[in-house]
Homo-oligomer: A and B are copies of this chain.
């Protein structure tokens, strides 16, 4: 009756191919379940058995297959993050936090960089959805577009339905009941605080430079600027607000233009440190010194801020912590503690602080 033997697996496909849990089990003379147990160490196994299995694994050079594991188990041990540009320090620091926290939770990190392509962002989320990432984190400025919102909203629901979750990082949350977390920082407050710093030094003619024209996350900075002005009884002079791109080039050109137009101002609020770097160059070119002739402040506190000469007074955004918090939020639903009362708040807001360096002084005369 030997011929009746089930013989479920016919032949090993490739003798060179990776060993499987079954090979290990056979070699150690145990069942695959036992091997699984020692691999995962989440179940009691006799010491001697464990030793035999470990030995077999070593001898065979066994490497677990994460996909089989993901398929059979429930979690994939992968988190995904989508950023605009990985070489931009703003995103890089957030990514670093995400990476670190992911690793701390025993996960790997799938990083997607859109290079500013809005469509790519959504496509990456879809891919991450296919990967069944335990959490997907979307970083950075969203455009205020109906259709876009609907698309994100939909993805949030899909993720939620598959036990994962969407985390909006550094941007406002969804204004719907879609299952998504938001991890932001106090953009408006930071902007107001540093504007206050300028006001305290005696400046009232402050030129605001940078940031997108369209309504978006970072407009919050402009809002903070305006609030601080108003709170001290000053009006926002439209001539002193120039929004547009976010780069060094923009800061450079606008500063040049402002000077050449004879615009009256004694300080510049750059919407981020990179813009401020451009401002510095233009100022130097026109022979204006910082901070004697004009004071400058930035935002973000990325490395350039302390490299500029004189070092830039700016708003420190807890970028790395932002990334960590995003992972924690995204994973909060998966953790075993599953205490429904200790529930993660859908929106986390981190504080910002003004870092005073050398680029602000009282206005000349």
Contact = CB atoms under 8 A, between A and B. Distances in A.
B162 A132 contact: no
Nearest to A124: B108
Interface in A80-116: 85-87, 89, 92-93, 95-96, 99-100, 103, 108-113, 115
Interface stretch (A64-72, A139-147, A328-336): A64-72
A338 interface: no
A204 to B, nearest CB: 30
A129 interface: yes
Contacts of A177: none
B110 A127 contact: no
A214 interface: no
Interface residues of A, number: 48
A161 interface: yes
Given A68-B71, A95-B86, A161-B16, A284 B307 contact: no
Given A18-B161, A18-B162, A67-B76, A108 B127 contact: yes
Contacts of A63: 126, 129-130, 158, 162
Contacts of A70: 67
Nearest to A127: B108
A167 interface: no
A130 B17 contact: no
Nearest to A111: B111
B161 A17 contact: yes
Given A18-B161, A99-B113, A111-B111, A71 B67 contact: yes
B99 A92 contact: no
A61 interface: yes
A70 B65 CA distance: 10
A229 interface: no
Given A113-B99, A309-B284, A66 B162 contact: no
Interface in A201-230: none
Number of copies: 2
A130 B96 CA distance: 22
A119 to B, nearest CB: 13
Contacts of A163: 17
A304 interface: yes
Contacts of A17: 161-163
Contact of A71 (B71, B108, B161): B71
A103 B121 CA distance: 12
B96 A86 contact: yes
Contact of A65 (B61, B64, B132, B304): B132
Contacts of A110: 78, 108-111
A6 B341 CA distance: 44
Contact of A112 (B89, B99, B112, B115): B99
A158 B99 CA distance: 25
A170 to B, nearest CB: 16
Given A17-B161, A89-B87, A64 B130 contact: yes
A194 interface: no
Nearest to A123: B103
Which 8 pairs show the lowest CB-CB distances between chains A and B? A67-B70, A111-B111, A67-B67, A87-B92, A66-B130, A18-B162, A66-B131, A67-B71
